[in-house]
Amino acid sequence: MAGMIGAGKTTYTTKIAGELQTEPFYEAVDENPILNKYYEDPGKYGFALQIYFLNKRFKSIKEAFFDQNNVLDRSIYEDALFTKINVENGNISEEEYQLYLELLNNMMEELSTLPKKAPDLMIYLDASFDHILSNIQKRGRSFEQPTKENGLLDYYKQLHTAYGDWFEQYNHGPKLKIDADRYDVTQKADWQDVFAQIQTKLNGEEVMVG
């Protein structure tokens, strides 16, 4: 899965794993000891947070290769996007960024020795900014809520703009864009439509959306 904060990746991951009768791998959020500190002081904790996520993501990928059709709720390919934005915002230095990229490249070289070098399918949840904000508000994590003081609204807008370009440039394998505004996958009919698109793409066929 891919998509910005609040796009609905966890819900989709759970449902896809259920359909495929396989294991979901979730992003380390609630047990992350750095995340809320990052929101309080991104300049101090930006680099540590990205290293934490990169390490956890790499571990999940290695574990996921042991079974067919496991689902990860965020891809390692997105990590560099978050890190780059932190560099642009002055939260991570150029020296730290180069160190991060070197580590990421070393990890990707290790992945190249595994039976699969990339996901069978990258599913990107494309959602409007209003949809994103609504989801962030609904799930209620206090440190994620934008206020006039914390500048998170501008950060979320920055991410939202960057994600479209990221998906267009993704070229590591098959990919599928899902309109998260259009579908409420808690509703049976909507979920059946979405999962049919996923199955079609996994079979190597073109997805036609009416």
Domain that holds residue 172: 9-202
Examine residue 38 and state whether it is found in any structural domain, yes or no: yes
State pLDDT tens for residues 68-95.
Answer: 778 999 888 888 899 999 999 999 999 9
Examine residue 195 and state whether it is found in any structural domain, yes or no: yes
Average pLDDT of every residue of the chain: 90
Cα atoms found within 13 Å of the Cα of residue 186, Cβ hemisphere only = 4
Examine residue 162 and state whether it is found in any structural domain, yes or no: yes
Examine residue 154 and state whether it is found in any structural domain, yes or no: yes
73 is catalytic: yes
Examine residue 24 and state whether it is found in any structural domain, yes or no: yes
> What CA–CA distances, in Å, run from 13 to 38, 57, 71, 104, 124?
25, 15, 6, 24, 12
Contact 73, 27 (CB under 8 A): yes
> What CA–CA distances, in Å, run from 10 to 60, 111, 147?
15, 24, 24
Quick one: which of 159, 151, 115 has its CA closest to 39? 151
Examine residue 20 and state whether it is found in any structural domain, yes or no: yes
State pLDDT tens for residues 3-21.
Answer: 999 999 999 999 999 999 9
Examine residue 208 and state whether it is found in any structural domain, yes or no: no
Residues 6+ apart with CB under 8 A from 39: 143, 144, 150, 152
CA distance linking residue 124 with residue 204, whole number of Å: 17
Q: Which residue stretches of the chain are H helix?
A: 9-20, 35-40, 42-64, 79-88, 94-111, 129-139, 152-169, 188-202
Annotated binding-site positions for substrate: 27, 39, 50, 74, 79, 144
Cα radius of gyration rounded to whole Å, the chain: 17
Quick check: 210 pLDDT over 70?
Answer: no
Number of structural domains in the chain: 1
Q: What is the mean pLDDT of residues 128-157?
A: 91
Range in 17-31, 85-99, 150-164, 178-192 the model is least confident about: 17-31
Quick one: which of 179, 205, 58, 5 has its CA closest to 121? 205
Q: How does DSSP assign 18-48, residue by residue? A: HHHT--EE--S-TT-SSHHHHHH-HHHHHHH
Which two tokens mark 52? Answer: 């934490």
- How high is the pLDDT of residue 65? 77
Quick check: 123 pLDDT over 70?
Answer: yes
Using CA of residue 124, residue 166, residue 206, residue 72, what is the dihedral sign?
negative
Quick check: 148 pLDDT over 90?
Answer: no
* Active-site residue, from 73, 120, 184, 193: 73
Examine residue 115 and state whether it is found in any structural domain, yes or no: yes
Range in 114-123, 182-191, 195-204 the model is least confident about: 114-123
> What CA–CA distances, in Å, run from 90 to 43, 65, 87, 95, 156?
7, 36, 5, 12, 16
CATH number at residue 103: 3.40.50.300
What is the crossing angle of helices 152-169 and 79-88, to 10°? 130
CA distance linking residue 110 with residue 104, whole number of Å: 10
